Chains A and B, each alone.
Chain A
Amino acid sequence: MRNEHLIRLVSLGALLLAWSALSIIMADPEILPSPRSVIQKMGELWATGDLQKHLLDTCFRILWAFSLAMCIGGFLGYFMGRNPLANAWIDPWLIIFLNLPALVLIVLCYLWIGLNEVAAILAVTLNKLPLVMTLIREGARSSSSELRDLAKAYKLPKLKVLRHIILPELLPHIVSAARTGLSMIWKIVLVVEFLGRGTGIGRQIHTQFSIFNITGVLAYSLSFVFFIMLIELLIMQPFERYATRWRQHA
């Protein structure tokens, strides 16, 4: 375990080293700035408050899209998993949305709704929704009929069935939907901002791109990556451990 952590750290260090070496060999900070100058740029952006402001805006959009997609997708997916007729009705839509390129959805949302916050959040939500629906549907399908019988025989109230049987049984699927969904949202939210928002990390990358400032692009994107890794480490992983705590005893 400890050994594995060490390997991970060394591997990360090797990446940084390779980057440094490459930037020295290329000797062209316009094309490949050194890690040092990128970190310096991050510091500058942090000092002016730009970095935090845009990070917060992006975070706000992620939070909205994530919550909406999880709630609506969870509900619809569960409904489809339990009800074959509903599944037959909704499934063709699901397949279309699953195969619709993210870019198409984003552009259409902006064209139809306008270049505003609602369109941006909706575009991200719609991109994530089918994935959540598919995963939760799988979970609902594999739920045990024996436990349902048990609840019925003991006349368990609906709320208790939800709390002690349906949700815990679905939880591993909810966790995997949350994780894969989140990693999808990170990627899409930047594109959405890039194409039609005035703030956010995606917008800043656009600005830096148009003035061909690679240091700026790297500074913004790497800050974003750090931020995501932090969320993964501090929220997603503990949540996953909590959700599967009863299994680790085995």
Chain B
Amino acid sequence: MLEVNVTGKFFGDQKILGACKLKLKPAERISILGPSGVGKSTLLRIISGLDTNFEGVVKCPEKLAFMFQGPNLLAWRTCYQNLLIFHPEVSQTGATQMLEQVGLGDKGFFYPDQLSLGQQRRLALARTFLSPADIILLDEPFTSLDPKLKLEMLTLTRTLLDQSKSTLVHVTHDISESEYLMSNAVELKGNPATLHHQASDE
């Protein structure tokens, strides 16, 4: 499924990432935990293929979905378009069903600016789960949310994950998120940061 064998990643002269090995079976879920700035997002970008400038090998399925820290929506396109542009194989009915599931059933023709912050997040979630991806990558999408919205988003994400049965790689600094999503926690720490498969108990 997913095979990651990163041996090094440099920003200029500075080595950010050391040995990071990861092997996931289909439908397996992991959360990569670590303090901010340690290189979690960098590792996720390498896994997703957004960053190809590193030492090592990554084998990642073609069909992936990526959820970013911010909603990252096209402000100039309606909710429908925001979904369908990225999933051309999905019908409008399919998009409507997904919008209903995230509680935006009547917002299809709205522009993102007309939505509340929570609704924008849910639209981003809908985009991530609209068509079945082999692997779903979450780059701290729940940080900087207020506790109520965070809980709502986590519950929704878990439901969608259970439905889709996709593999999950999730990056966060909050272990409770990993518990919510029922994922195995691995830790990224050190300088340069390396991946530790048993989360240390504090």
Contacts and interface: CB of A to CB of B under 8 A. Distances in A.
A206 to B, nearest CB: 46
A41 to B, nearest CB: 47
A154 B67 CA distance: 11
Contacts of B48: 153
Nearest to A148: B50
29 contacts: A146-B68, A147-B74, A149-B50, A149-B72, A150-B68, A150-B86, A152-B49, A152-B50, A153-B49, A153-B50, A153-B65, A153-B66, A153-B137, A154-B66, A154-B86, A156-B86, A164-B77, A164-B85, A165-B74, A168-B76, A169-B76, A246-B75, A246-B77, A246-B111, A247-B75, A247-B113, A249-B110, A249-B114, A250-B113
A160 interface: yes
A155 B48 CA distance: 11
Interface in B10-33: none
B45 to A, nearest CB: 8
Interface residues of B, number: 23
Contacts of B76: 168-169, 171, 246
Contacts of A164: 74, 77, 81, 85
Contacts of A168: 74, 76-77
Contacts of B154: none
B64 interface: yes
B86 to A, nearest CB: 5
Contacts of A152: 49-50
Chain A, interface SS category? helix
A250 B86 CA distance: 24
Contacts of B81: 164
Which of A153, A155, A171 counts the most B-chain CB atoms under 10 A from its CB? A153
B64 A153 contact: yes
B70 interface: yes
B72 A150 contact: yes
A169 B75 CA distance: 9
